[in-house]
């Protein structure tokens, strides 16, 4: 049955098979003309003798039936030969691929026709979205925050003077079409008490690639080849920035990792220095996207830093893309305590300006009482969906089951992808 996939629309195989068949017919006709049909006459005479000996009389449909049989045999041989020629080539180019070539080509053609999607954010939430959306389109670009200053990323940032690679690494792995071992390798963290302890291999790989290639954009491009990434991963900026938060009481907290620790209400966040230059490719991805997705992820420390880079918020607002904000399911202690859905959206509009969000996607699946108690002990609570207040901001609200509730509450990659793609196809301005 898999042979029929070669005839699926969009495979760009049928046209060349037809050209091949036409070529065979021209060659056959040419040989017939060169040899003045004498060999064809000999074949027809052989058919005549054979039929006459079997039946004692001659059936005048025999040459036509024989011709159909020869055509069928010739077509089968052409397909068989084409298949083995392609297989012999592909086993050299992709020796470790277990999938059939037709499945690989069909998937790439299908994903290549998917909508152009640009996602903005950072942290675990963004990688969850990317892990799901790569199954629907390969035309995806992740614009990732560079304000992380904690853990392995923070150490490499201080020691090597590079932008923090942690969120970039997570996005690369999420979009990767590679063996599980390679994913484990990139996510592996060194243990022990040496200077390597706490560093992930992927962070070190990106850091080394940055020094080898000379800039982080090229490093990410080359790293994407290693991981067979479906799409692109770009930093919002290559500038070394710090995220500061201005609290309601007027105090200023410096550093992304320190903001949730003070447990005060955030009035506004800003970058230092204020005017960070954007990556041109990131702006282009926003301008040409069919859909721009904000989140999911920490509101102030994952999504906002991208929008504060010069030109990014303006590019989002000016884009003709459908703009979707995926709201967090639970409040985040020290960052969004007591926030409703409309408060999340309003915070983005206060920083990016009106027109940055068209629709908000929220979770509709009930959260168990057991999970509520578990999160309440940590100071987190379900985000209240105040639809009327969201609508007052000029934002449409969509509800869907987008979570996976096991030992913790997480966005589910597949559910999230289905909900987002449905919104894109239903509400995209060009539709």
Whether 428 shows a pLDDT value over 80: the answer reads no
Q: What is the pLDDT of residues 172-216, one digit of tens each?
A: 999 988 767 777 888 899 988 888 888 999 999 999 999 999 999
Whether 333 shows a pLDDT value over 80: the answer reads yes
Residue 56 pLDDT grade (very low, low, confident, very high; cuts 50, 70, 90): low
% residues pLDDT > 90 (the chain): 59
Residues 302, 316: Cα–Cα separation, whole Å: 16
Give the CA radius of gyration of the chain. 30
Q: Distance from CA of residue 150 to its chain's centroid?
A: 26
Q: What is the mean pLDDT of residues 225-239?
A: 91
Residue 21 pLDDT grade (very low, low, confident, very high; cuts 50, 70, 90): confident
Whether 418 shows a pLDDT value over 90: the answer reads yes
Output the pLDDT for position 103: 64
Distances (CA, A) of 182 to 55, 179, 212, 296: 68, 6, 21, 26
Output the pLDDT for position 25: 73
265 CB-near residues (< 8 Å, 6+ apart): 247, 248, 337
Least confident of 174-178, 351-355, 398-402: 174-178
Whether 299 shows a pLDDT value over 60: the answer reads yes
Per the prediction, the chain carries an average pLDDT of 86
Domain, as residue range, for 12: 2-103
Higher pLDDT, 53 or 366: 366
- Of 57, 86, 103, the last residue of a domain is 103
Total of domains in the chain: 2
| Same domain for 69 and 136 | no
| Same domain for 208 and 66 | no
Higher pLDDT, 327 or 100: 327
Least confident of 91-105, 118-132, 324-338, 348-362: 91-105
Output the pLDDT for position 316: 97
Residues 206, 156: Cα–Cα separation, whole Å: 10
Residues 108, 263: Cα–Cα separation, whole Å: 47
Smallest Cα–Cα separation from 271: which of 283, 259, 263? Answer: 259
Higher pLDDT, 309 or 29: 309
* Residue the block writes with tokens 């690639």: 209
% residues pLDDT > 70 (the chain): 80
SS3 label, residue 35: coil
Region for residue 205 given its phi and psi (left: phi exceeds 0; alpha: psi -120 to 50; beta: otherwise) = alpha
Higher pLDDT, 52 or 256: 256
Output the pLDDT for position 107: 67
Residue 341 pLDDT grade (very low, low, confident, very high; cuts 50, 70, 90): very high
Instruction: Give the Cα-Cα-Cα angle 180, 121, 328 (nearest 5 degrees).
Output: 95
Is the alpha carbon torsion for 201, 202, 204, 205 positive or negative?
Answer: positive
Residue 59 pLDDT grade (very low, low, confident, very high; cuts 50, 70, 90): low
Output the pLDDT for position 64: 64
Output the pLDDT for position 267: 96
Residues 385, 161: Cα–Cα separation, whole Å: 42
- Of 48, 80, 103, the last residue of a domain is 103
According to DSSP, the β-strands at 140-144 and 291-294 are: unpaired
Other beta carbons within 10 Å of 5: 15
Q: What is the pLDDT of residues 114-126, one digit of tens each?
A: 899 999 999 889 9
| Same domain for 154 and 75 | no
SS3 label, residue 72: helix
| Same domain for 219 and 159 | yes
| Same domain for 117 and 99 | no
Output the pLDDT for position 361: 98
- Of 86, 103, 120, the last residue of a domain is 103
Q: What is the mean pLDDT of residues 34-39?
A: 60
Residues 315, 267: Cα–Cα separation, whole Å: 24
Is the alpha carbon torsion for 286, 287, 293, 295 positive or negative?
Answer: positive
Residues 403, 362: Cα–Cα separation, whole Å: 10
| Same domain for 355 and 331 | yes
SS3 label, residue 163: coil
Output the pLDDT for position 34: 63
Q: What is the pLDDT of residues 238-254, one digit of tens each?
A: 999 999 999 999 999 99
CB 370 within 8 A of CB 328: no
Looking at residue 219, which CATH number applies to its domain? 3.40.50.10680
Q: Which two tokens stand for residue 244?
A: 């500061």
| Same domain for 168 and 289 | yes
Output the pLDDT for position 402: 95
Higher pLDDT, 106 or 350: 350
The one-character DSSP state at 315 is H
| Same domain for 192 and 311 | yes
Q: What is the pLDDT of residues 128-174, one digit of tens each?
A: 999 999 989 999 999 999 998 888 888 888 888 889 999 999 999 99
| Same domain for 352 and 295 | yes
Output the pLDDT for position 161: 86
- Any bridge partners for residue 254, and if so which? 244
Q: What is the mean pLDDT of residues 416-430?
A: 88
| Same domain for 71 and 140 | no
| Same domain for 184 and 87 | no
| Same domain for 65 and 201 | no
Whether 13 shows a pLDDT value over 60: the answer reads yes
Q: Distance from CA of residue 216 to its chain's centroid?
A: 20
pTM over 0.85: no
CB 139 within 8 A of CB 129: no
Whether 61 shows a pLDDT value over 90: the answer reads no
């Amino acid at each position: 049955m898999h042979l029929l996939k070669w005839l699926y629309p969009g495979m760009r195989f049928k046209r060349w098979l037809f050209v091949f068949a036409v070529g065979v017919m021209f060659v056959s006709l040419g040989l017939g003309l060169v040899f003045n049909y004498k060999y064809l006459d000999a074949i027809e005479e052989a058919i005549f003798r054979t039929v006459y000996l079997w039946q004692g009389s001659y059936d005048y449909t025999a040459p036509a039936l024989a011709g159909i049989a020869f055509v069928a045999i010739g077509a089968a041989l052409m397909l068989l030969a084409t298949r083995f020629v392609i297989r012999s080539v592909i086993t050299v180019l992709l020796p470790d691929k277990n999938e059939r070539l037709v499945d690989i080509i069909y998937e790439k053609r299908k994903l290549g026709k998917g909508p152009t999607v640009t996602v903005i954010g950072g942290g675990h939430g963004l990688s969850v979205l990317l892990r799901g959306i790569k199954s629907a389109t390969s035309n995806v670009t992740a614009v990732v925050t560079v304000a992380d200053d904690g853990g392995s990323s923070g150490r490499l940032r201080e020691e090597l003077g590079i932008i923090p690679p942690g969120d970039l690494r997570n996005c690369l792995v999420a979009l990767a079409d590679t063996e599980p071992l390679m994913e484990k390798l990139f996510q592996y963290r060194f243990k022990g008490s040496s200077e390597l302890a706490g560093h992930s291999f992927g962070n070190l790989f990106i850091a080394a690639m940055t020094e080898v290639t000379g800039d982080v954009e090229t490093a990410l491009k080359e790293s994407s080849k290693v991981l067979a990434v479906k799409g692109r991963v770009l930093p919002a900026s290559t500038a070394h920035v710090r995220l500061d938060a201005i609290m309601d009481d007027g105090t200023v907290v410096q550093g992304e990792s320190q903001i949730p620790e003070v447990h005060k209400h955030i009035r506004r966040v800003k970058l230092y220095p204020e005017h960070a230059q954007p990556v041109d490719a990131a702006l282009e991805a926003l301008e040409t996207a069919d859909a721009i997705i904000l989140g999911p992820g920490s509101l102030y420390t994952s999504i906002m830093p991208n929008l504060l880079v010069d030109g990014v918020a303006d590019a989002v607002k000016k884009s003709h893309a459908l703009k979707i904000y995926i709201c967090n399911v639970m409040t985040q202690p020290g960052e969004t305590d007591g926030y409703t859905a409309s408060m999340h959206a309003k915070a983005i509009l206060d920083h990016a300006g009106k027109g940055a969000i068209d629709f908000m996607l929220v979770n509709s699946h009930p959260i168990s009482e057991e999970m509520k108690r578990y999160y309440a002990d940590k100071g987190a609570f379900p985000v209240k969906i105040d639809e009327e207040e969201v609508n007052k901001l000029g934002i449409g609200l969509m509800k869907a089951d987008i979570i996976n509730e096991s030992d913790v509450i997480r966005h589910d990659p597949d559910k999230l992808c289905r909900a987002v793609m449905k919104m894109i196809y239903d509400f995209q301005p060009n539709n």
